[in-house]
């Protein structure tokens, strides 16, 4: 696969939260870009090489769930980590069932953000490698089937860990 910068997309309608997360990632050697809404995030995902998304679940313009649904509808398989308040467990359970990679509850620690983000980056790289290999060797229908199968396995593993 061609060398491309590994970017994490931070999606939050609060500039302060975007800045805090961006600084955390940058201090740990993780390049990132930001978006203030789900619509802006979709534009960035279409035009940039993003390997993971770190998104607030509740935003003024749409929700993180709507973002994830749009991503899946457009066959954007980038892993999504949701950030939510601790009292938002039902939404988080729904997000995992929809295919979210993981979630972080507020207040979060830098160590927690970095650990989960690095795991999502690794998963995002694997997905991009699978997409690349399949685009070179298999019809797109088979590509979608294999990637969805992989994502189902990840979701099942998360459910067994007690987060689904």
pLDDT at position 52: 97
**Token duo for residue 88:** 């938002």
Percent helix, strand and coil across the chain, each to the nearest 5: 55, 20, 25
pLDDT at 87 over 50: yes
pLDDT at position 1: 43
The arithmetic mean of pLDDT across residues 22-43, rounded, is 95
pLDDT digits (tens, 9 = 90+) for 145-155: 777 788 788 87
The arithmetic mean of pLDDT across residues 37-43, rounded, is 94
Nearest Cα neighbor of 82 from 91, 74, 73 is 91
Q: How far is 114 from 100, CA to CA, in rounded Å?
A: 17
Q: How far is 11 from 122, CA to CA, in rounded Å?
A: 19
pLDDT at position 114: 97
The arithmetic mean of pLDDT across residues 82-97, rounded, is 79
Query: Which span out of 58-62, 82-86, 122-126 was modeled with the highest average pLDDT?
Result: 122-126
Please state the domain extents for the chain. 7-160
Q: Does domain 7-160 fall into CATH 3.40.50.2300?
A: yes
Alpha carbon 137 to its chain's center: 26
């Amino acid at each position: 696969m061609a060398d491309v910068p590994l970017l994490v997309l931070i999606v939050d309608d609060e500039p302060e939260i975007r800045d805090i997360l961006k600084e955390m990632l940058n201090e740990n050697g993780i390049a990132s870009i930001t978006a203030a809404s789900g619509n802006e995030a979709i534009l960035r995902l279409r035009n940039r090489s993003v390997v993971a998304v770190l998104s607030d679940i509740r935003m003024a313009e749409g929700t993180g769930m709507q973002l994830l649904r749009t991503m899946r509808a457009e066959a954007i398989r980038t892993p999504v980590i949701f950030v939510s308040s601790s009292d938002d467990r039902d939404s988080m359970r729904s997000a995992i069932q929809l295919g979210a990679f993981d979630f972080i509850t507020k207040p979060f620690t830098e160590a927690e953000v970095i650990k989960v983000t690095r795991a999502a980056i690794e998963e995002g790289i694997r997905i991009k490698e699978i997409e690349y290999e399949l685009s070179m060797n298999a019809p797109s229908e088979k590509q979608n089937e294999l990637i969805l199968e992989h994502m189902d396995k990840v979701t099942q593993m998360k459910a067994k860990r007690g987060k689904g």
